[in-house]
Amino acid sequence: MKQLLLDISKLVQKDMKTGIQRVVWGVLQELLRNPPDGWVVEPIYASTDAPGYRYASNFMHFGSKRQRTSEQAVTIKEGDIFFGLDLIPDLPQYPLLKEWHKKGVCIQFLVHDLLPITMQNAFLPPIPQAFARWLKITTEFDGVVCVSRCIADEYYDWLQTYNPKRNQPFLINWSHNGVCIENWNCESNFNLEVFSLIDRFNLRPTFLMVGTIEPRKGHDETLQAFTQLWEEGVDINLVIVGKLGWKFSEFMHQFMRHPQLSNRLFWLNNLNDEDLIKTYSASTCLIAASLGEGFGLPLIEAAKYKLPIIARDIPIFHEVAGKHAYFFKNDKSPETLAGAITDWLHLYRQGRHPKSDNLPYLTWKESTAKLLNILMGKICYRQWPESGSSILAHSRK
């Protein structure tokens, strides 16, 4: 049988429970449950201190304590597929992948976004530099699968600028992420903090933000907008769910000293599945204030629990949410967001706000089925250059 090799190196090292790793878990579990006919799905990993890839056989038992002992080295044959499911910017096994490619392994990568290129100032060095190197490496193989059409088009535009020399067409595809919070790999523990806050969330309209606290997510603009509304006497909550990221220590300094902290302002960190579901269910509206995203997973998570959405007016949020969200102008002004929240509350009280109930989204089963069709060469969104055959260099029949 041919092998579908899924690189999950970062996940094996540590599950950081980020949006990227939630995607890795979703795809991985679906492919292990429902492998394509005639194929065996093999999670693999590499480390920076040893050459080669190894089968992640101890990773097959979700939720169990996983060993970190050495496992069998990966062996390949012509017609296998390697899919870079996890984001590995340093890609220490690049020479090995070049060797596999020459031996007939089809190699593609999942691209979550191009933000370290398009929004460099939002990241700490050397992330943009490492990401740029990784992006260039992807062009030396067979193709990429992006998590949205917006990112696929951005990748194509970047490819035109980079202009790599190739003997074979390069495929650029996209497949939306799925959603199924209940299947994430987290141990469920009773969280007294969340339980005690649910009643307080129900006292007044509660607005929720979900995502790592870092520059592009719009937390600072949102907090300023809510501070303005609180000073005007508007009785609402702001709940931020996510771990502290980078370049935002000054923001957290202000946040932890805010006069509304633990009254109308809350920060929940390291929530497990059950507690995140409770928080979605107890909230009134999701605020998606990010300046840039590859997909925006919280939007479809919110839709799953019928939570209305206020979103920044950027292309990716229109692609994901369409008419099922209330959009505010992208001028980076707290006053604009405060005005949007006020207007939304007026519509909400009249029952005329956009509702997310019918927002279309994919389950991980549906998302992974499309992903498989892409990897098997059955779908081609774009190729570079545009002329020429759309058949990959390595047959997978």
| CATH number, domain containing residue 191 | 3.40.50.2000
Same domain, 198 and 343: yes
- Owning domain of residue 42: 2-178+364-384
Q: Find, among 328, 356, 73, 318, the residue nearest to 222 by Cα.
A: 328
Same domain, 262 and 234: yes
Same domain, 202 and 278: yes
The verdict on residue 66 lying in a domain is yes
Same domain, 96 and 27: yes
- In whole angstroms, what is the distance from residue 362 CA to residue 26 CA? 12
The verdict on residue 356 lying in a domain is no
The verdict on residue 94 lying in a domain is yes
| pTM score, whole prediction | 0.90
Number of domains in the chain: 2
The verdict on residue 369 lying in a domain is yes
Same domain, 65 and 206: no
Instruction: Confirm if 209 and 287 have CB atoms less than 8 A apart.
Output: yes
Print pLDDT tens along the chain (397 aa). 999 999 999 888 877 667 788 899 999 999 999 999 999 999 999 877 778 999 987 765 543 334 444 578 999 999 999 999 988 877 888 999 999 999 999 999 999 999 999 999 999 999 999 999 999 999 999 999 999 999 999 999 999 999 998 988 999 999 999 987 554 444 445 566 787 888 899 899 999 999 999 999 999 999 999 999 999 999 999 999 999 999 999 999 999 999 999 999 999 987 888 889 999 999 999 999 999 999 999 999 999 999 999 999 999 999 999 999 999 999 999 999 999 999 999 999 999 999 999 999 999 999 999 999 999 999 999 999 865 444 444 434 4
The verdict on residue 389 lying in a domain is no
The verdict on residue 358 lying in a domain is no
Instruction: Confirm if 245 and 214 have CB atoms less than 8 A apart.
Output: yes
Burial 240-254 (b: 16+ CB within 10 A, else e): bbbeebeebeebeee
- In whole angstroms, what is the distance from residue 253 CA to residue 110 CA? 36
Same domain, 272 and 247: yes
Same domain, 318 and 195: yes
Same domain, 39 and 164: yes
Report the number of secondary-structure helices (H) and strands (E) in the chain.
14, 14
Same domain, 211 and 333: yes
Same domain, 6 and 135: yes
Same domain, 142 and 17: yes
